[in-house]
Structure 1
Amino acid sequence: MKLTAITLALLASASYAYADQTPEECSALRDTVFDGGHVTSARVMSPEGLPQYCEVRATALPAISIEVRLPLSGWNGKFYQTGCGGFCGILGRADGGESWVNAMRPGLERGYATATSDSGHHALAVTEATWAQDNPNAERDWGWRSIGETNRIAQVMIDAFYGAPSSQAIFQGCSTGGRMAHVAAHRYPEMFDGIISGAPAMDYTGLVGTAMSWTLQANTAEDGSQILGPDEAAKIGAAVMQQCDGADGTEDGVIEDPRACEVDYSGLGLSNQQLDTLAKWREGPRNAAGEQLYPGGIPEGSEPFWWLWLTGNAEGAGKLVSGFAGGFTRHMAFADDPGTEYSPLSFDFETDPARMATAASVYNGDTPDLSAFRAAGGKMIVYHGWADSIVTPYKTVEWYDQAAELAGGETALNENVKLFMVPGLDHCGILPGPNGVNWSSLDPMTPLEAWMNEGTAPSSIMVE
């Protein structure tokens, strides 16, 4: 949250000590009144390994559920907001696991007041999209409004609890949370002083509508059977590693940059149909004229993760691309939702990309113009795994190059925005890579804090 220069000077000059808050003061937040919503509960939480905090649940009308966590002691005077994954719909889901991605916990551990939301609807799974059927208001809330409303209500609670506004605000998110991070930079350029964006699904219509439908269609035979499965993925992955591992000069079990990788698949015993599917996966979606509809495709080195995202495994788990593409095209992508009878296997690459124009204006955050955010002094760290098979890293690289051009060059852009491409990293680091790299290998928060507070530009986000 941006404050006036006078307020910032006062906060900086006075070693501001925030008094400890009591459980009674937490309970009193139940009576907090604000426009466009209401508090539903306020209680003290004492989780193992975390500071004791006041958990406030609130609703921003019509249907955005928000959770705010306020440390009872040791508040650092700042605010930390997080995004959510997939189609969201499960309040605070990320804090149910160990990962810091999309979780409030990292902020709370450092003394921040924190908040997140369900993005405006309740769902039983992050691949469920029926909430959006014929519901443009819910789509608007998911697309962008929940970001601003979560911030607004969190600031009301912070002021009511501590008697002072937060002096600094950070947003952190990955995947859909990364999309939200980019939307925040564009729609709310003065709201966050620092932004962490991971594997950003910033062009949802192009990615989940066009590219994922392409991936599914390319891997479905005329009889409906799957062309590439987990066995083929293992063969392909082994060939990629054998032929490309040393392309960067070091054989370490990681593809440093898939763009430098050329693989001969002729000796793997793949059928012509399987080779055709693989070629389509690598190049990404095109129309009948051969025009690229979305940048790049599925990168070399991502094969160990295909079971979760693309092919499933022998036990029938994974293949989440089907759920995401299906839910999106049925209920979220088009002005007239076709509903449950529709299949992404029917997606028309000649006409359907244009039919998603309205959805693109509501959901997407892939514009490379960051001038307003940069003018406000914001700092942004973007990271993406080179081994991401569900949100292609090539889109992020393209966006960064375009952003640098608009900013007057990479040096100028790097005054406010830095991109880190991580070899061997799965989508948001969910699964460990061949070299063990996953979410726990990354720490973008420490360098972001140093960048904002000390002016030290980050050179790495890897845990030392």
Structure 2
Amino acid sequence: MPPFPRFIAIAATAVAATLIPTTSIAKPPATTPDGLARLPAITPVMTCAAVTGLDLTGATDAPVTITSATVVGTNCEVRGTIAPANTIVARLPVNGWTQRYVQTGCGGLCGNATINYGQAATCPVVADGTVASATTDMGHQGRNDGSWAAGNPQAQIDFAYRGVHVTAQVAKALITAFYGRSPAYSYFTGCSDGGREALMEAQRFPTDFDGIAAGAPANNMAVQNTFHHAWNVLANKDASGNYILLADKLPLVHAAVLRACDGIDGLTDGLIDDPRLCRFDPASLVCADTATCLTPAQASVVRKLHDGAVDARGRRLEPFISHEWGSELEWTLFVPAAQGQVVGSENFALSYLRYLADPNDPNPAYQLTDLRLTVESFWSTVLPSSTYMAAMDPDLGAFRRSNGKLLLWHGWNDQHISPQSTLLYYDAMRRVMGAGAVDRFARLYLFPGMAHCGGGEGPNTFDVLTPVMAWVESGRQPGRIIATRTDRSRPVYPYPAVARYDGSGSIDDAANFVPFTPRNPVRNDDEWIGKRLYSHGYQTSPRAVDGRLVL
């Protein structure tokens, strides 16, 4: 709801209108050109130094300790702890606060409380420093290899969902004390694990935020950080444990993919608007000249890396299309430059398999070769942590009823998390809640050529927060989002619409593109072993009892 002073201003205008001819009144618009509410800036009612003396008892169900409050630039930077070990960092504008709160997520397995706006950094009210913001390390500090979870069930709970929620509670209490009023609007933005955190909030705590931007969400974490990343490594090893495909072949594969599929969207520009339409066959690169071609074994690896993990009978252990065609230059995350290198995917998988897959039985000696690629192994590996770590529930009815708005986004060239994961979640939402209901509160954007949370060959800098704010504050539904990269800009439209060149002007200028919705949109293939993970009612709220996690 609008803050109380706005009603005073409206009432005053109404009184004035009875005394002065209406033609002489210059009534300011209720919203900015961006669709944001015009909220008066509020100054603090206390000094920054005095924040350390605040008693935030009751803000959440755990003790809160404020350790420091210091003016840094134009913000009062506050640091503290929510028991037992959630570090919180907040920034409160000292020269004028426009009554918005933005909480940011973090990536990986977190452990570091750093406010990172990511793709929301270009949002005007973020850029001008008038929003209050906060973040958390999610209940643990130090190494990001999962070892923090061993024998620490509360840290696992805080990382799964509690840390973000209690941070929202405490930050809002802190803001209310500092400015003498609570936020008019609250938002969350995050990518990767931050995207998982975003969806976890919408699912478990639907009234914490009015609007949420969830980028490349790792919502299927228990599968993502086990079979998905493990397959990236295991599918590329021969019987002797040597890598079959090395990174020097990736440009060759990428160039061949572009030759085959760059033009399917009607424009040869180095980008594939919808990689699902690409029918590239790696076997086409096999020839006797190993300097300019692939061996049959290397071509087989390329196919396996694209398709994703399967068991010996071909049953899918992750959704079909693990890495989209066109993303090959990003595969250095799991395809090494030389034998003997340890790739990123191996570290991600081992961190989870050793310390988080089984919450009460860590196994620091676990190796990727210990993971059996079977259906039985899938469920025994994935289920123990999925009920509290995954954010797969497609029923966001409570979030919708609270008037919440959700913007999902993903890069088509994401090398960490497959866009298919987000597509299947969006499909599940529409199946469970109804397409019409979902359209009233959620949108999905897919960015051609963009890698994980940014980077890549396509336009990869854009503002996801302003569209969410405008939808919440003025009802303006999100339309096109302009993405830029050096000298190129492109519009991205709500899925399933794509951008099409209008035939005139530079292909590097977003102004020369229009929306196009395919008459027969691609149907995402959701047939895989874990399909039923996209369901309602599976989530649990475990407790830490005597050093063990009790579900």
Report the residue type matching 1:44 in the other structure: V
| CA contact 1:214–1:284 (8 Å) conserved in 2 | yes
Query: Match of 1:458?
Result: 478
SS in 1 for 2:334: helix
Summarize the Cα distance change of 1:202–1:105 in structure 2 as closer, same or farther, 3 Å threshold. Answer: farther
Residues 1:192 and 2:209 aligned together: yes
How far 1:335 sits from its partner (Å)? 3.3
Query: Match of 2:91?
Result: 69
Report the residue type matching 1:328 in the other structure: Y
Give RMSD over aligned pairs: 2.4
Matched residues in 2 for 1:447 and 1:369: separation? 23
Matched residues in 1 for 2:123 and 2:170: separation? 16
Summarize the Cα distance change of 1:363–1:104 in structure 2 as closer, same or farther, 3 Å threshold. Answer: farther
Matched residues in 2 for 1:305 and 1:315: separation? 18
Matched residues in 2 for 1:340 and 1:45: separation? 41
SS in 1 for 2:387: helix
Question: Scaled by the length of structure 2, what TM-score is found?
Answer: 0.75
Matched residues in 2 for 1:295 and 1:444: separation? 26
- Matching of residues 345-364 of structure 1 within 5 Å: 345-350=369-374, 351-355=376-380, 356-364=382-390
SS in 1 for 2:481: coil
Matched residues in 2 for 1:105 and 1:319: separation? 38
Matched residues in 1 for 2:123 and 2:93: separation? 12
- Matching of residues 31-180 of structure 1 within 5 Å: 31-35=53-57, 36-46=63-73, 52-92=74-114, 94=116, 99-100=118-119, 107=126, 109-124=128-143, 126=144, 128-180=145-197
Matched residues in 2 for 1:74 and 1:385: separation? 35
How far 1:176 sits from its partner (Å)? 0.3
Query: Match of 1:386?
Result: 412
| CA contact 1:64–1:117 (8 Å) conserved in 2 | yes
How far 1:89 sits from its partner (Å)? 0.8
How far 1:293 sits from its partner (Å)? 2.2
Deviations 1:401-455 (A, max 9, x none): 111122222x4311100001111110101x231x4x22x2x11112112111111
| CA contact 2:56–2:174 (8 Å) conserved in 1 | no
Task: Name the count of aligned residue pairs.
Answer: 440
SS in 1 for 2:280: coil
Deviations 1:70-100 (A, max 9, x none): 00022011110010011111220747xxx44
Residues 1:248 and 2:265 aligned together: yes
Summarize the Cα distance change of 1:369–1:102 in structure 2 as closer, same or farther, 3 Å threshold. Answer: farther
SS in 2 for 1:25: coil
Query: Match of 2:7?
Result: 13
How far 1:337 sits from its partner (Å)? 3.5
Residues 1:298 and 2:323 aligned together: yes
Report the residue type matching 1:117 in the other structure: T
Matched residues in 1 for 2:107 and 2:123: separation? 13
Summarize the Cα distance change of 1:348–1:198 in structure 2 as closer, same or farther, 3 Å threshold. Answer: same
The structure carrying a bigger helix percent of its residues is 1
- 1:322 equivalent among 338, 346, 352: 346
| CA contact 1:85–1:102 (8 Å) conserved in 2 | no
- 1:271 equivalent among 286, 295, 298: 295
Matched residues in 1 for 2:115 and 2:256: separation? 37
Report the residue type matching 2:474 in the other structure: E
Matched residues in 1 for 2:313 and 2:127: separation? 52
Summarize the Cα distance change of 1:316–1:221 in structure 2 as closer, same or farther, 3 Å threshold. Answer: closer
| CA contact 1:326–1:343 (8 Å) conserved in 2 | yes
| CA contact 1:71–1:108 (8 Å) conserved in 2 | no
Instruction: Tell which structure's C-alpha radius of gyration is larger.
Output: 2
| CA contact 2:216–2:453 (8 Å) conserved in 1 | yes
How far 1:129 sits from its partner (Å)? 1.3
Report the residue type matching 2:141 in the other structure: H
- 2:256 equivalent among 226, 229, 239: 239
- 2:225 equivalent among 186, 199, 208: 208
Summarize the Cα distance change of 1:225–1:109 in structure 2 as closer, same or farther, 3 Å threshold. Answer: farther
Summarize the Cα distance change of 1:298–1:360 in structure 2 as closer, same or farther, 3 Å threshold. Answer: same
| CA contact 1:450–1:456 (8 Å) conserved in 2 | yes
Report the residue type matching 2:165 in the other structure: G
SS in 1 for 2:482: coil
Moved more, 411-420 or 8-17: 8-17
Deviations 1:258-297 (A, max 9, x none): 1111113323432232222222212212233432222121
Query: Match of 2:500?
Result: none
Matched residues in 2 for 1:348 and 1:136: separation? 26
Deviations 1:27-82 (A, max 9, x none): 11111122422101110001xxxxx0000001011111000100002201111001
Summarize the Cα distance change of 1:112–1:222 in structure 2 as closer, same or farther, 3 Å threshold. Answer: same
SS in 1 for 2:437: helix
Query: Match of 1:444?
Result: 464
Residues 1:220 and 2:237 aligned together: yes
Report the residue type matching 1:420 in the other structure: Y
How far 1:352 sits from its partner (Å)? 3.1
Summarize the Cα distance change of 1:316–1:84 in structure 2 as closer, same or farther, 3 Å threshold. Answer: farther
Report the residue type matching 1:10 in the other structure: F
Matched residues in 1 for 2:136 and 2:298: separation? 42
Residues 1:29 and 2:51 aligned together: yes
- Which sections of structure 2, spanning at least 5 residues, go unmatched? 10-38, 58-62, 287-292, 484-509, 511-551
Query: Match of 1:49?
Result: none
SS in 1 for 2:269: coil
How far 1:179 sits from its partner (Å)? 0.4
Report the residue type matching 1:447 in the other structure: P
Matched residues in 2 for 1:139 and 1:262: separation? 42
Report the residue type matching 2:445 in the other structure: F
Report the residue type matching 1:118 in the other structure: D
Report the residue type matching 1:332 in the other structure: L
Q: Percent identity?
A: 33
Report the residue type matching 2:285 in the other structure: G
Query: Match of 1:407?
Result: 433
Summarize the Cα distance change of 1:372–1:93 in structure 2 as closer, same or farther, 3 Å threshold. Answer: closer
Matched residues in 2 for 1:110 and 1:14: separation? 26
Residues 1:288 and 2:274 aligned together: no
SS in 1 for 2:249: helix
Report the residue type matching 1:428 in the other structure: C
Matched residues in 2 for 1:461 and 1:11: separation? 32
Matched residues in 2 for 1:142 and 1:421: separation? 27
SS in 1 for 2:480: coil
Deviations 1:214-236 (A, max 9, x none): 22211122222222221121211
How far 1:253 sits from its partner (Å)? 0.4
Moved more, 242-251 or 277-286: 277-286
